[in-house]
Amino acid sequence: MTDRARPGLTSFTAADKARLIEQALDTLRGANAIDERETLTAETWLSWYDATIPTVTEIKVLAAAMERELEVRRGEAVVQEGERRGGDYTSAESKVSHRDTLLNATRVARRKDRQLGLAAPQVRAWIAREATAGRVPTRRGALTVAGIALKRTSPATVRPATKAQRSTPQYQTGQVKSERRVETILAAVDAVADGTPRTDPVLRRAIRHHGPLEIDTFLQATRLIPWLTIARDATGTTFTIDHELRDICDGRAPRPTLEGQSIRDFLRTLRAEITRRRKENHDEYNKRKWRVTEVRTREQTLLLNWIEEQLDRVP
Protein backbone atom coordinates (compact mmCIF):
# COMPACT_ATOMS: atom_id res chain seq x y z
CA MET A 1 0.00 0.00 0.00
CA THR A 2 1.46 3.35 -1.02
CA ASP A 3 1.32 6.51 1.05
CA ARG A 4 -1.39 7.96 -1.15
CA ALA A 5 -3.69 5.06 -0.10
CA ARG A 6 -3.44 5.89 3.56
CA PRO A 7 -6.46 7.41 5.27
CA GLY A 8 -6.47 11.11 5.84
CA LEU A 9 -4.65 12.00 2.61
CA THR A 10 -6.52 13.91 -0.08
CA SER A 11 -4.77 11.97 -2.85
CA PHE A 12 -6.74 8.80 -2.01
CA THR A 13 -8.70 8.70 -5.28
CA ALA A 14 -11.59 6.58 -6.52
CA ALA A 15 -9.08 4.50 -8.48
CA ASP A 16 -7.18 3.79 -5.27
CA LYS A 17 -10.43 2.73 -3.59
CA ALA A 18 -11.34 0.47 -6.50
CA ARG A 19 -7.90 -1.14 -6.45
CA LEU A 20 -8.12 -1.65 -2.67
CA ILE A 21 -11.57 -3.26 -2.89
CA GLU A 22 -10.49 -5.44 -5.81
CA GLN A 23 -7.60 -6.75 -3.72
CA ALA A 24 -10.02 -7.55 -0.88
CA LEU A 25 -12.34 -9.34 -3.31
CA ASP A 26 -9.43 -11.36 -4.66
CA THR A 27 -8.63 -12.38 -1.10
CA LEU A 28 -12.21 -13.55 -0.52
CA ARG A 29 -12.42 -15.38 -3.84
CA GLY A 30 -9.16 -17.17 -3.19
CA ALA A 31 -10.35 -18.29 0.24
CA ASN A 32 -13.75 -19.47 -1.10
CA ALA A 33 -15.36 -17.11 1.41
CA ILE A 34 -18.03 -15.90 -1.02
CA ASP A 35 -20.15 -17.58 -3.66
CA GLU A 36 -20.92 -14.44 -5.65
CA ARG A 37 -17.58 -14.47 -7.51
CA GLU A 38 -18.99 -13.62 -10.93
CA THR A 39 -21.37 -10.80 -9.99
CA LEU A 40 -19.36 -8.92 -7.36
CA THR A 41 -17.17 -6.20 -8.73
CA ALA A 42 -15.18 -3.41 -7.17
CA GLU A 43 -17.64 -0.84 -8.54
CA THR A 44 -20.56 -2.33 -6.61
CA TRP A 45 -18.68 -1.93 -3.33
CA LEU A 46 -17.49 1.65 -3.70
CA SER A 47 -20.64 3.22 -2.23
CA TRP A 48 -20.65 0.71 0.62
CA TYR A 49 -17.00 1.46 1.36
CA ASP A 50 -17.53 5.25 1.39
CA ALA A 51 -20.58 4.98 3.65
CA THR A 52 -19.25 2.38 6.08
CA ILE A 53 -15.47 2.30 6.49
CA PRO A 54 -13.88 5.05 4.33
CA THR A 55 -10.67 5.14 6.42
CA VAL A 56 -9.83 1.42 6.36
CA THR A 57 -6.90 0.50 4.14
CA GLU A 58 -5.70 -2.81 5.59
CA ILE A 59 -6.65 -5.67 3.27
CA LYS A 60 -7.26 -8.20 6.05
CA VAL A 61 -9.67 -5.92 7.90
CA LEU A 62 -11.45 -4.81 4.73
CA ALA A 63 -11.89 -8.36 3.45
CA ALA A 64 -13.36 -9.50 6.78
CA ALA A 65 -15.75 -6.53 6.87
CA MET A 66 -16.93 -7.29 3.33
CA GLU A 67 -17.42 -10.94 4.20
CA ARG A 68 -19.56 -10.00 7.21
CA GLU A 69 -21.59 -7.63 5.02
CA LEU A 70 -22.26 -10.48 2.58
CA GLU A 71 -23.43 -12.69 5.43
CA VAL A 72 -25.82 -9.98 6.62
CA ARG A 73 -27.19 -9.59 3.09
CA ARG A 74 -27.73 -13.34 2.81
CA GLY A 75 -29.49 -13.26 6.16
CA GLU A 76 -31.77 -10.45 5.02
CA ALA A 77 -32.64 -12.50 1.93
CA VAL A 78 -33.57 -15.46 4.13
CA VAL A 79 -35.74 -13.25 6.35
CA GLN A 80 -37.52 -11.68 3.37
CA GLU A 81 -38.18 -15.07 1.82
CA GLY A 82 -39.55 -16.33 5.13
CA GLU A 83 -41.92 -13.35 5.37
CA ARG A 84 -43.18 -13.91 1.85
CA ARG A 85 -43.88 -17.52 2.79
CA GLY A 86 -45.62 -16.59 6.01
CA GLY A 87 -42.70 -17.28 8.29
CA ASP A 88 -41.73 -20.71 6.93
CA TYR A 89 -38.06 -20.22 7.71
CA THR A 90 -37.04 -23.77 6.87
CA SER A 91 -38.51 -23.43 3.40
CA ALA A 92 -36.95 -19.99 3.09
CA GLU A 93 -33.52 -21.30 3.84
CA SER A 94 -34.03 -24.07 1.31
CA LYS A 95 -35.10 -21.51 -1.31
CA VAL A 96 -32.06 -19.31 -0.76
CA SER A 97 -29.63 -22.19 -1.10
CA HIS A 98 -31.45 -24.95 -2.95
CA ARG A 99 -28.34 -26.81 -4.04
CA ASP A 100 -27.16 -27.30 -0.46
CA THR A 101 -30.43 -28.26 1.24
CA LEU A 102 -29.24 -31.76 2.05
CA LEU A 103 -26.17 -30.60 3.91
CA ASN A 104 -26.76 -30.04 7.60
CA ALA A 105 -23.76 -27.75 7.89
CA THR A 106 -25.22 -25.45 5.26
CA ARG A 107 -28.59 -25.36 7.02
CA VAL A 108 -26.88 -24.35 10.24
CA ALA A 109 -24.97 -21.62 8.40
CA ARG A 110 -28.20 -20.32 6.84
CA ARG A 111 -29.90 -20.18 10.24
CA LYS A 112 -27.01 -18.14 11.56
CA ASP A 113 -27.13 -15.86 8.52
CA ARG A 114 -30.83 -15.34 9.24
CA GLN A 115 -29.93 -14.28 12.77
CA LEU A 116 -27.54 -11.71 11.31
CA GLY A 117 -30.26 -10.53 8.95
CA LEU A 118 -32.76 -10.01 11.76
CA ALA A 119 -30.26 -7.81 13.61
CA ALA A 120 -28.76 -6.20 10.50
CA PRO A 121 -28.56 -2.56 11.80
CA GLN A 122 -26.78 -3.55 15.00
CA VAL A 123 -24.41 -5.93 13.21
CA ARG A 124 -23.52 -3.37 10.53
CA ALA A 125 -22.81 -0.73 13.17
CA TRP A 126 -20.55 -3.20 14.98
CA ILE A 127 -18.72 -4.08 11.73
CA ALA A 128 -18.02 -0.40 11.09
CA ARG A 129 -16.72 0.13 14.65
CA GLU A 130 -14.44 -2.90 14.55
CA ALA A 131 -13.00 -2.15 11.12
CA THR A 132 -12.49 1.56 11.85
CA ALA A 133 -10.62 0.61 15.01
CA GLY A 134 -8.33 -1.66 12.96
CA ARG A 135 -9.79 -4.91 14.33
CA VAL A 136 -10.90 -7.83 12.17
CA PRO A 137 -14.70 -8.26 12.48
CA THR A 138 -15.19 -12.01 12.97
CA ARG A 139 -18.31 -14.07 12.28
CA ARG A 140 -18.43 -15.17 15.91
CA GLY A 141 -18.40 -11.57 17.07
CA ALA A 142 -21.17 -10.65 14.63
CA LEU A 143 -23.33 -13.54 15.85
CA THR A 144 -22.75 -12.47 19.45
CA VAL A 145 -23.87 -8.92 18.66
CA ALA A 146 -26.93 -10.26 16.81
CA GLY A 147 -27.85 -12.56 19.69
CA ILE A 148 -27.69 -9.72 22.21
CA ALA A 149 -29.76 -7.45 19.98
CA LEU A 150 -32.44 -10.08 19.38
CA LYS A 151 -32.59 -10.97 23.07
CA ARG A 152 -33.28 -7.35 23.96
CA THR A 153 -36.20 -7.22 21.54
CA SER A 154 -37.62 -10.70 22.26
CA PRO A 155 -41.09 -11.00 23.91
CA ALA A 156 -39.51 -12.50 27.06
CA THR A 157 -37.74 -9.23 27.79
CA VAL A 158 -40.53 -6.79 26.89
CA ARG A 159 -40.90 -4.14 29.56
CA PRO A 160 -44.09 -4.05 31.67
CA ALA A 161 -46.92 -2.05 30.17
CA THR A 162 -46.98 1.62 31.00
CA LYS A 163 -49.98 3.37 32.49
CA ALA A 164 -51.02 4.62 29.05
CA GLN A 165 -50.71 1.12 27.57
CA ARG A 166 -52.74 -0.39 30.40
CA SER A 167 -55.60 1.96 29.57
CA THR A 168 -55.89 0.75 25.97
CA PRO A 169 -58.85 -1.48 25.02
CA GLN A 170 -56.53 -4.23 23.75
CA TYR A 171 -54.68 -4.43 27.05
CA GLN A 172 -57.88 -4.41 29.08
CA THR A 173 -59.37 -7.13 26.88
CA GLY A 174 -56.27 -9.26 27.39
CA GLN A 175 -56.47 -8.78 31.14
CA VAL A 176 -60.11 -9.83 31.20
CA LYS A 177 -59.32 -12.98 29.19
CA SER A 178 -56.42 -13.81 31.51
CA GLU A 179 -58.56 -13.38 34.61
CA ARG A 180 -61.33 -15.53 33.15
CA ARG A 181 -58.85 -18.26 32.33
CA VAL A 182 -57.54 -18.23 35.90
CA GLU A 183 -61.10 -18.43 37.23
CA THR A 184 -61.83 -21.34 34.89
CA ILE A 185 -58.76 -23.28 36.04
CA LEU A 186 -59.46 -22.66 39.74
CA ALA A 187 -63.08 -23.74 39.30
CA ALA A 188 -61.88 -26.96 37.66
CA VAL A 189 -59.39 -27.52 40.50
CA ASP A 190 -62.13 -27.13 43.12
CA ALA A 191 -64.27 -29.63 41.20
CA VAL A 192 -61.66 -32.40 40.97
CA ALA A 193 -59.51 -31.83 44.09
CA ASP A 194 -61.43 -34.17 46.40
CA GLY A 195 -58.74 -36.84 46.86
CA THR A 196 -60.44 -39.19 44.38
CA PRO A 197 -58.29 -40.74 41.62
CA ARG A 198 -59.68 -40.15 38.13
CA THR A 199 -58.70 -41.72 34.85
CA ASP A 200 -57.83 -39.41 31.98
CA PRO A 201 -61.23 -39.71 30.23
CA VAL A 202 -63.07 -39.00 33.50
CA LEU A 203 -60.74 -36.12 34.34
CA ARG A 204 -61.17 -34.65 30.84
CA ARG A 205 -64.96 -34.66 31.17
CA ALA A 206 -64.76 -33.11 34.64
CA ILE A 207 -62.55 -30.16 33.69
CA ARG A 208 -64.35 -29.50 30.40
CA HIS A 209 -67.50 -28.69 32.37
CA HIS A 210 -65.73 -25.46 33.33
CA GLY A 211 -64.17 -24.51 30.01
CA PRO A 212 -62.22 -25.70 26.94
CA LEU A 213 -59.38 -27.30 28.92
CA GLU A 214 -57.17 -30.21 27.94
CA ILE A 215 -55.45 -32.45 30.48
CA ASP A 216 -51.92 -31.47 29.47
CA THR A 217 -52.58 -27.72 29.64
CA PHE A 218 -54.55 -28.14 32.86
CA LEU A 219 -51.72 -30.03 34.55
CA GLN A 220 -49.17 -27.53 33.27
CA ALA A 221 -51.20 -24.64 34.66
CA THR A 222 -51.75 -26.24 38.08
CA ARG A 223 -48.52 -28.08 38.82
CA LEU A 224 -46.86 -25.00 40.39
CA ILE A 225 -49.77 -24.14 42.72
CA PRO A 226 -48.19 -24.51 46.20
CA TRP A 227 -51.36 -25.62 48.01
CA LEU A 228 -52.27 -28.31 45.44
CA THR A 229 -50.83 -31.82 45.45
CA ILE A 230 -51.04 -33.83 42.20
CA ALA A 231 -50.39 -37.58 42.13
CA ARG A 232 -50.53 -39.61 38.92
CA ASP A 233 -50.37 -43.41 39.03
CA ALA A 234 -51.98 -46.47 37.46
CA THR A 235 -55.36 -45.68 39.05
CA GLY A 236 -55.46 -42.16 37.63
CA THR A 237 -54.78 -38.60 38.76
CA THR A 238 -55.52 -37.46 42.31
CA PHE A 239 -55.74 -33.81 43.37
CA THR A 240 -55.57 -32.79 47.02
CA ILE A 241 -55.85 -29.27 48.45
CA ASP A 242 -54.03 -28.08 51.56
CA HIS A 243 -56.76 -25.68 52.70
CA GLU A 244 -54.70 -24.13 55.49
CA LEU A 245 -51.87 -23.28 53.10
CA ARG A 246 -54.37 -22.03 50.52
CA ASP A 247 -55.86 -19.61 53.02
CA ILE A 248 -52.37 -18.30 53.82
CA CYS A 249 -51.47 -17.89 50.11
CA ASP A 250 -54.79 -16.17 49.37
CA GLY A 251 -54.32 -13.79 52.29
CA ARG A 252 -57.30 -15.12 54.24
CA ALA A 253 -55.11 -16.32 57.12
CA PRO A 254 -51.88 -14.94 58.62
CA ARG A 255 -48.59 -16.76 58.25
CA PRO A 256 -47.82 -18.71 61.47
CA THR A 257 -45.28 -17.04 63.74
CA LEU A 258 -43.61 -17.77 67.06
CA GLU A 259 -43.09 -14.75 69.27
CA GLY A 260 -42.72 -12.48 66.26
CA GLN A 261 -40.45 -14.92 64.41
CA SER A 262 -41.34 -16.95 61.36
CA ILE A 263 -41.18 -20.71 61.81
CA ARG A 264 -38.13 -20.78 59.55
CA ASP A 265 -36.26 -18.29 61.75
CA PHE A 266 -37.41 -20.11 64.87
CA LEU A 267 -36.05 -23.44 63.65
CA ARG A 268 -32.78 -21.81 62.64
CA THR A 269 -32.41 -20.34 66.14
CA LEU A 270 -33.36 -23.67 67.70
CA ARG A 271 -30.69 -25.46 65.69
CA ALA A 272 -28.01 -22.98 66.78
CA GLU A 273 -29.00 -23.31 70.43
CA ILE A 274 -28.89 -27.12 70.26
CA THR A 275 -25.39 -26.96 68.82
CA ARG A 276 -24.29 -24.53 71.51
CA ARG A 277 -25.68 -26.65 74.36
CA ARG A 278 -24.17 -29.87 73.00
CA LYS A 279 -20.78 -28.19 72.74
CA GLU A 280 -21.13 -26.81 76.25
CA ASN A 281 -22.07 -30.23 77.57
CA HIS A 282 -19.08 -31.78 75.82
CA ASP A 283 -16.69 -29.20 77.30
CA GLU A 284 -18.05 -29.69 80.81
CA TYR A 285 -17.81 -33.45 80.38
CA ASN A 286 -14.11 -33.18 79.59
CA LYS A 287 -13.51 -31.14 82.75
CA ARG A 288 -15.23 -33.47 85.19
CA LYS A 289 -13.24 -36.17 87.01
CA TRP A 290 -15.92 -38.06 88.91
CA ARG A 291 -18.87 -40.25 87.84
CA VAL A 292 -18.49 -39.05 84.32
CA THR A 293 -21.08 -41.30 82.70
CA GLU A 294 -23.86 -40.33 85.08
CA VAL A 295 -23.22 -36.60 84.75
CA ARG A 296 -23.11 -36.79 80.94
CA THR A 297 -26.35 -38.80 80.75
CA ARG A 298 -28.14 -36.30 82.93
CA GLU A 299 -27.04 -33.37 80.78
CA GLN A 300 -28.07 -35.22 77.64
CA THR A 301 -31.51 -35.95 79.13
CA LEU A 302 -32.01 -32.31 80.04
CA LEU A 303 -31.06 -31.27 76.53
CA LEU A 304 -33.52 -33.70 74.93
CA ASN A 305 -36.30 -32.57 77.25
CA TRP A 306 -35.65 -28.98 76.31
CA ILE A 307 -35.77 -29.84 72.60
CA GLU A 308 -39.12 -31.54 73.05
CA GLU A 309 -40.51 -28.48 74.81
CA GLN A 310 -39.35 -26.22 72.00
CA LEU A 311 -40.80 -28.42 69.29
CA ASP A 312 -44.15 -28.56 71.09
CA ARG A 313 -44.40 -24.82 70.50
CA VAL A 314 -44.39 -25.22 66.73
CA PRO A 315 -47.98 -25.03 65.39
**Per-residue confidence (pLDDT) for residue 190, from 0 to 100:** 92
Range in 71-85, 128-142, 190-204 with the lowest mean pLDDT? 71-85
Confirm whether 163 is domain-assigned.
no
Both 36 and 14 in one domain: the answer is yes
- The residue-averaged pLDDT of 55-81 equals 83
> Which one is predicted more confidently, 292 or 242?
242
Tell me the pLDDT band of 102, cut-offs 50, 70 and 90. Answer: very low
Residue 43 has pLDDT above 90, yes or no: no
Question: What percentage of residues in the chain have a pLDDT greater than 70?
Answer: 70
Structural domain for 217, as ranges: 169-246
Residue 197 has pLDDT above 90, yes or no: yes
d(CA 49, CA 56): 9
Residue 242 has pLDDT above 80, yes or no: yes
Both 51 and 139 in one domain: the answer is yes
Tell me the pLDDT band of 160, cut-offs 50, 70 and 90. Answer: low
Residue finishing a domain among 214, 246, 278: 246
**Per-residue confidence (pLDDT) for residue 292, from 0 to 100:** 52
Confirm whether 303 is domain-assigned.
yes
**Per-residue confidence (pLDDT) for residue 230, from 0 to 100:** 92
Task: Find out whether 299 and 274 touch, Cβ atoms under 8 Å.
Answer: no
Both 80 and 149 in one domain: the answer is yes
- Per DSSP, 64 falls in state H
Both 65 and 10 in one domain: the answer is yes
d(CA 80, CA 95): 11
- Alpha-carbon Rg of the chain, whole angstroms? 35
Both 107 and 178 in one domain: the answer is no
**Per-residue confidence (pLDDT) for residue 291, from 0 to 100:** 53
All residues at 6 or more sequence positions from 308 whose CB lies less than 8 Å from its CB, including other chains: none
Confirm whether 251 is domain-assigned.
no
- Residue 132: count other Cβ atoms within 10 Å of its Cβ: 16
Q: Which residues are 5's β-sheet partners?
A: none
Both 11 and 98 in one domain: the answer is yes
**Alpha-helical segments (H) within 35-103:** 42-52, 59-84, 89-96
Highest mean pLDDT among 1-15, 66-80, 269-283, 297-311: 66-80
The count of structural domains within the chain is: 3
Residue 106 has pLDDT above 70, yes or no: no
Both 74 and 138 in one domain: the answer is yes
pTM: 0.40
First vs last Cα of the chain: how many Å apart? 85
- The residue-averaged pLDDT of 10-39 equals 64
- The residue-averaged pLDDT of 177-182 equals 87
**Per-residue confidence (pLDDT) for residue 90, from 0 to 100:** 46
Both 140 and 278 in one domain: the answer is no
- The residue-averaged pLDDT of 251-273 equals 76
Both 17 and 80 in one domain: the answer is yes
Highest mean pLDDT among 1-10, 73-82, 184-193, 205-214: 184-193
Confirm whether 161 is domain-assigned.
no
**Per-residue confidence (pLDDT) for residue 283, from 0 to 100:** 61
Residue 101 has pLDDT above 50, yes or no: no
Confirm whether 97 is domain-assigned.
yes
**Alpha-helical segments (H) within 138-253:** 139-153, 163-166, 169-192, 200-208, 215-222, 243-249
Residue 237 has pLDDT above 90, yes or no: yes
